Chain A
Amino acid sequence: DIQMTQSPSSLSASVGERVTITCQASPDSSHYLNWYQHKPGKAPKLLIYDVSNLESGVPSRFSGSGSGTDFTFTISSLQPEDVATYYCQQHDYLLRFTFGPGTKVDLK
Protein backbone atom coordinates (compact mmCIF):
# COMPACT_ATOMS: atom_id res chain seq x y z
CA ASP A 1 0.00 0.00 0.00
CA ILE A 2 0.95 3.63 -0.46
CA GLN A 3 2.62 5.19 2.54
CA MET A 4 2.16 8.92 2.97
CA THR A 5 3.66 11.32 5.46
CA GLN A 6 2.76 14.91 6.14
CA SER A 7 4.66 17.54 8.05
CA PRO A 8 4.18 19.22 10.30
CA SER A 9 1.37 17.36 12.09
CA SER A 10 0.18 20.70 13.44
CA LEU A 11 1.11 24.36 13.25
CA SER A 12 0.05 27.74 14.60
CA ALA A 13 0.36 30.84 12.47
CA SER A 14 -0.77 34.44 12.54
CA VAL A 15 -3.32 35.99 10.21
CA GLY A 16 -1.54 37.00 7.01
CA GLU A 17 1.32 34.59 7.55
CA ARG A 18 2.47 32.14 4.87
CA VAL A 19 1.79 28.49 5.71
CA THR A 20 3.51 25.52 4.06
CA ILE A 21 2.69 21.85 4.44
CA THR A 22 4.67 19.04 2.87
CA CYS A 23 3.50 15.59 1.83
CA GLN A 24 5.73 12.69 0.88
CA ALA A 25 4.44 9.56 -0.83
CA SER A 26 6.01 6.17 -1.35
CA PRO A 27 7.62 5.49 -4.74
CA ASP A 28 4.85 3.10 -5.86
CA SER A 29 2.23 5.83 -5.81
CA SER A 30 0.56 7.25 -8.89
CA HIS A 31 2.41 10.57 -8.57
CA TYR A 32 -0.91 12.42 -8.69
CA LEU A 33 -1.82 14.31 -5.53
CA ASN A 34 -4.86 16.10 -4.19
CA TRP A 35 -5.32 18.36 -1.15
CA TYR A 36 -8.43 18.64 1.05
CA GLN A 37 -9.54 20.98 3.81
CA HIS A 38 -11.57 19.48 6.66
CA LYS A 39 -13.32 21.55 9.29
CA PRO A 40 -15.04 19.99 12.32
CA GLY A 41 -18.68 19.18 11.61
CA LYS A 42 -18.27 19.69 7.89
CA ALA A 43 -17.52 17.40 4.98
CA PRO A 44 -14.00 17.55 3.56
CA LYS A 45 -13.52 19.97 0.69
CA LEU A 46 -11.33 19.50 -2.35
CA LEU A 47 -8.93 22.44 -2.71
CA ILE A 48 -6.17 21.32 -5.10
CA TYR A 49 -6.28 18.44 -7.60
CA ASP A 50 -3.54 16.86 -9.66
CA VAL A 51 -0.74 18.53 -7.68
CA SER A 52 -1.32 22.17 -8.60
CA ASN A 53 -4.79 22.75 -10.05
CA LEU A 54 -7.06 25.01 -8.02
CA GLU A 55 -10.58 23.66 -7.61
CA SER A 56 -13.29 25.99 -8.88
CA GLY A 57 -14.36 28.55 -6.31
CA VAL A 58 -11.33 28.04 -4.07
CA PRO A 59 -9.45 31.26 -3.17
CA SER A 60 -6.17 31.83 -4.98
CA ARG A 61 -4.22 32.05 -1.71
CA PHE A 62 -4.21 28.23 -1.79
CA SER A 63 -1.68 26.55 -4.06
CA GLY A 64 0.08 23.25 -4.58
CA SER A 65 3.32 22.12 -6.18
CA GLY A 66 5.70 19.22 -6.41
CA SER A 67 6.41 16.10 -8.40
CA GLY A 68 7.40 12.49 -7.99
CA THR A 69 7.08 11.71 -4.30
CA ASP A 70 7.45 15.19 -2.75
CA PHE A 71 4.65 17.73 -2.69
CA THR A 72 3.92 21.07 -1.05
CA PHE A 73 0.70 22.86 -0.13
CA THR A 74 0.80 26.59 0.59
CA ILE A 75 -1.55 29.18 2.00
CA SER A 76 0.01 32.47 0.95
CA SER A 77 -1.77 34.60 3.55
CA LEU A 78 -3.55 32.72 6.33
CA GLN A 79 -7.11 33.83 7.05
CA PRO A 80 -9.23 33.01 10.13
CA GLU A 81 -11.53 30.84 8.04
CA ASP A 82 -8.57 28.65 7.03
CA VAL A 83 -8.39 27.07 10.49
CA ALA A 84 -8.86 23.39 9.62
CA THR A 85 -7.05 20.11 9.12
CA TYR A 86 -5.48 19.62 5.70
CA TYR A 87 -4.96 16.24 4.06
CA CYS A 88 -3.05 15.12 1.02
CA GLN A 89 -4.41 12.13 -0.91
CA GLN A 90 -3.11 9.78 -3.56
CA HIS A 91 -3.97 6.50 -5.17
CA ASP A 92 -1.86 3.76 -6.68
CA TYR A 93 -2.23 1.98 -10.00
CA LEU A 94 -4.39 -0.67 -8.32
CA LEU A 95 -6.84 2.06 -7.28
CA ARG A 96 -6.06 1.85 -3.59
CA PHE A 97 -6.56 5.31 -2.15
CA THR A 98 -4.68 6.79 0.77
CA PHE A 99 -4.89 10.00 2.76
CA GLY A 100 -1.97 11.54 4.55
CA PRO A 101 -2.20 11.73 8.35
CA GLY A 102 -3.28 15.38 8.24
CA THR A 103 -1.94 18.75 9.35
CA LYS A 104 -3.95 20.77 11.85
CA VAL A 105 -3.69 24.52 11.26
CA ASP A 106 -4.56 26.92 14.10
CA LEU A 107 -4.31 30.67 14.64
CA LYS A 108 -1.55 31.99 16.83
Chain B
Amino acid sequence: QAHLVQSGGGVVQPGRSLRLSCAASGFSLRTAAMHWVRQAPGKGLEWVAVMSALLHDGSYKYYADSVKGRFTVSRDDSKNTLDLQMNSLRAEDTALYYCARDRKVGDNDAFDIWGQGTMVTVSS
Protein backbone atom coordinates (compact mmCIF):
# COMPACT_ATOMS: atom_id res chain seq x y z
CA GLN B 1 0.00 0.00 0.00
CA ALA B 2 1.31 3.42 -0.95
CA HIS B 3 2.53 5.51 1.96
CA LEU B 4 4.46 8.75 2.48
CA VAL B 5 6.45 9.56 5.62
CA GLN B 6 7.88 13.03 6.10
CA SER B 7 10.89 14.20 8.09
CA GLY B 8 12.76 17.43 8.63
CA GLY B 9 11.20 20.69 9.66
CA GLY B 10 11.70 22.67 12.82
CA VAL B 11 12.47 26.22 13.87
CA VAL B 12 14.85 28.32 11.77
CA GLN B 13 15.88 31.96 11.67
CA PRO B 14 14.88 34.21 8.77
CA GLY B 15 17.32 33.97 5.89
CA ARG B 16 18.49 30.49 6.83
CA SER B 17 17.87 27.18 5.08
CA LEU B 18 16.02 23.98 5.87
CA ARG B 19 15.49 20.69 4.06
CA LEU B 20 12.37 18.56 4.19
CA SER B 21 12.21 14.95 3.12
CA CYS B 22 9.38 12.67 2.04
CA ALA B 23 10.00 8.90 1.93
CA ALA B 24 7.74 6.79 -0.25
CA SER B 25 6.84 3.15 0.19
CA GLY B 26 4.61 0.94 -1.92
CA PHE B 27 5.44 2.76 -5.13
CA SER B 28 8.42 4.30 -6.94
CA LEU B 29 8.73 8.08 -6.94
CA ARG B 30 10.16 7.82 -10.45
CA THR B 31 6.71 6.78 -11.70
CA ALA B 32 4.66 9.56 -10.10
CA ALA B 33 4.61 13.31 -10.08
CA MET B 34 5.00 14.59 -6.53
CA HIS B 35 3.92 17.84 -4.94
CA TRP B 36 4.62 19.96 -1.90
CA VAL B 37 1.63 21.74 -0.35
CA ARG B 38 1.64 23.96 2.74
CA GLN B 39 -0.80 25.45 5.21
CA ALA B 40 0.17 28.55 7.14
CA PRO B 41 -1.36 28.91 10.62
CA GLY B 42 -5.03 29.83 10.30
CA LYS B 43 -4.88 29.80 6.50
CA GLY B 44 -5.90 27.47 3.70
CA LEU B 45 -3.93 25.06 1.58
CA GLU B 46 -1.31 26.52 -0.76
CA TRP B 47 0.39 24.57 -3.50
CA VAL B 48 4.19 25.01 -3.39
CA ALA B 49 5.92 22.85 -6.02
CA VAL B 50 5.70 19.83 -8.30
CA MET B 51 8.28 17.44 -9.66
CA SER B 52 7.17 15.24 -12.51
CA ALA B 53 7.72 11.53 -12.86
CA LEU B 54 10.91 10.53 -14.64
CA LEU B 55 10.25 11.05 -18.32
CA HIS B 56 12.40 10.11 -21.29
CA ASP B 57 14.01 13.54 -21.18
CA GLY B 58 14.21 13.93 -17.41
CA SER B 59 11.83 15.49 -14.91
CA TYR B 60 10.28 18.93 -14.93
CA LYS B 61 9.74 21.09 -11.89
CA TYR B 62 7.35 23.97 -11.32
CA TYR B 63 7.07 26.31 -8.35
CA ALA B 64 4.57 28.75 -6.91
CA ASP B 65 5.62 32.35 -7.45
CA SER B 66 5.90 32.79 -3.67
CA VAL B 67 8.83 30.31 -3.46
CA LYS B 68 10.37 30.47 -6.94
CA GLY B 69 14.11 30.99 -6.79
CA ARG B 70 14.29 30.05 -3.10
CA PHE B 71 12.90 26.50 -2.93
CA THR B 72 14.15 23.49 -4.90
CA VAL B 73 12.46 20.12 -5.17
CA SER B 74 14.57 17.02 -5.90
CA ARG B 75 14.32 13.27 -5.85
CA ASP B 76 16.74 10.59 -4.67
CA ASP B 77 15.84 7.50 -6.68
CA SER B 78 18.18 5.24 -4.68
CA LYS B 79 16.35 6.10 -1.45
CA ASN B 80 12.92 6.66 -3.02
CA THR B 81 12.70 10.04 -1.30
CA LEU B 82 11.54 13.48 -2.35
CA ASP B 83 13.24 16.52 -0.85
CA LEU B 84 12.37 20.19 -0.58
CA GLN B 85 15.38 22.46 -0.08
CA MET B 86 14.20 25.77 1.33
CA ASN B 87 16.64 28.68 1.23
CA SER B 88 16.33 32.33 2.22
CA LEU B 89 13.41 31.48 4.48
CA ARG B 90 10.97 34.19 5.48
CA ALA B 91 8.46 34.50 8.28
CA GLU B 92 5.67 33.97 5.76
CA ASP B 93 7.08 30.51 4.96
CA THR B 94 5.97 29.38 8.41
CA ALA B 95 3.56 26.56 7.71
CA LEU B 96 2.74 22.89 7.95
CA TYR B 97 4.26 21.30 4.84
CA TYR B 98 2.82 18.22 3.16
CA CYS B 99 4.18 16.07 0.36
CA ALA B 100 1.53 14.50 -1.86
CA ARG B 101 1.44 12.06 -4.75
CA ASP B 102 -0.12 13.11 -8.04
CA ARG B 103 -2.51 10.67 -9.62
CA LYS B 104 -3.18 11.51 -13.22
CA VAL B 105 -6.41 10.30 -14.80
CA GLY B 106 -6.68 11.57 -18.33
CA ASP B 107 -5.76 15.24 -18.10
CA ASN B 108 -6.80 15.58 -14.47
CA ASP B 109 -4.19 15.65 -11.69
CA ALA B 110 -5.35 14.92 -8.14
CA PHE B 111 -3.39 14.49 -4.93
CA ASP B 112 -4.32 10.99 -3.80
CA ILE B 113 -1.69 10.10 -1.16
CA TRP B 114 -0.44 12.60 1.44
CA GLY B 115 2.35 12.62 3.97
CA GLN B 116 1.59 13.31 7.62
CA GLY B 117 2.88 16.87 7.42
CA THR B 118 5.88 18.56 9.01
CA MET B 119 5.96 21.98 10.66
CA VAL B 120 8.37 24.72 9.63
CA THR B 121 8.62 27.81 11.81
CA VAL B 122 10.68 30.76 10.64
CA SER B 123 11.38 33.06 13.56
CA SER B 124 14.22 34.99 15.11
Is B117 within 8 A of A99, CB to CB? no
User: Shortest beta-carbon distance, B82 to chain A, in Å?
Assistant: 15
Contact A44 B114 (CB under 8 A): yes
Q: Does B111 contact A (CB under 8 A)?
A: yes
Give B32-54 interface residues, CB cut-off 8 Å to A: 35, 37, 44-47, 50
Query: Of B64, B105, B110, B114, which is within 8 A of A43 by CB?
Result: B114
Interface size class of A (residues with CB under 8 A): 20 to 34
Main SS of chain B's interface residues? strand
- A101 on the B face (CB < 8 A): yes
Given contacts A43-B115, A43-B116, A95-B50, contact A101 B107 (CB under 8 A): no
Cross-chain contact B105 with A50 (CB below 8 angstroms)? yes
Chain B interface residue count, Cβ-Cβ cutoff 8 angstroms: 26
B98 at the interface (CB under 8 A from A): yes
Q: With the chains together, A99 CA to B105 CA distance in Å?
A: 19
Q: Is B110 a contact of A34 with CB atoms below 8 Å? A: yes
B65 to chain A, nearest CB (A): 7
B50 touches A97 (CB 8 A): yes
Q: How far does the Cβ of A105 sit from chain B's closest Cβ, in whole Å? A: 14
B114 CB, nearest partner CB in chain A, Å: 4
Q: Quote the shortest CB–CB distance from B27 to chain A (angstroms).
A: 16
Contact flag A55-B112 (CB < 8 Å), given A44-B98, A97-B50:
yes
Using CB atoms and an 8 Å cutoff, list the residues of chain A in contact with chain B: 1, 30, 32, 34, 36, 38, 43-46, 49-50, 53, 55, 85, 87, 89, 91, 94-102
Instruction: Write 10 A-B pairs (CB below 8 A) sorted by A numbering.
Output: A30-B107, A32-B109, A34-B110, A38-B45, A43-B115, A49-B110, A96-B64, A97-B50, A99-B45, A102-B45
